[in-house]
A = this chain, B = another copy of it.
Amino acid sequence: MAPSGVEKEKIRSQDIFELDLKGNIVRAAKDESLKLTECAPLFMSAYELRDAGAVIHSHSPNVVLATMFAKRVEPGLSVLEITELEMLKGLAGHGYHDVFELPVVDNTARERDLTDSLRKAIERYPRTCAVAVRNHGIYVWGKDEVQAKTQAECVDFLCEILVKMRQNGITKDMHPMGI
């Protein structure tokens, strides 16, 4: 896992923390001033609950905007329902006519305080490969780093289209996700 609060594009291999599956640090970054990312318990949730091999966290503007359209399910939890877009086929277990339910949890002041709601969302939406965080970003996982990356690319593309559909006034007779 990456260190916290650094310029991510400058991370070197010696800056990475190695953890065991209980979340204990096995090998810390060489530079002792570096601290483990606050996302650690969130990443661990996907490893534990979904047997993930890799997890990606992003602040993609496409995703951040899409979370604002998410439909409220209950306090703290919303959902984006995405259907009839070819890129759905890129998501494990989904086809073109399926509805991909992307859970969106409310954001919190501290990243680690997202853990409970993220775990509940993972359990409630057993088919999802991602949990978004309102006004914040997304956690996406896969069985290995290749699948985590392709899932992240597909979800990002889907959110980009969702936002642009809205920008372009696509109505329900033009697409089932229209406004």
Name A residues whose Cβ lies closer than 8 Å to a Cβ of B.
Answer: 7, 59, 61, 64-65, 68-69, 84-87, 95-97, 107-109, 133, 135-137, 146, 149-150, 157, 160-161, 163-170, 174-175, 178
Contact = CB atoms under 8 A, between A and B. Distances in A.
Given A59-B157, A61-B161, A168-B166, A85 B135 contact: yes
B136 A86 contact: yes
Contacts of A165: 65, 68
Q: Oligomeric state, in number of copies?
A: 4
A68 B170 contact: yes
B168 A163 contact: yes
Nearest to A150: B7
A143 to B, nearest CB: 14
B109 A86 contact: no
Contacts of A69: 168, 174
Contact of A169 (B96, B107, B166): B166
Contacts of A160: 61
Contacts of A109: 95-97
Contact of A167 (B7, B95, B168): B168
A80 to B, nearest CB: 13
A105 B161 CA distance: 19
A69 B87 CA distance: 19
| Most interface-central of A108, A157, A161, A168 (chain B CB within 10 A) | A168
A86 B68 contact: no
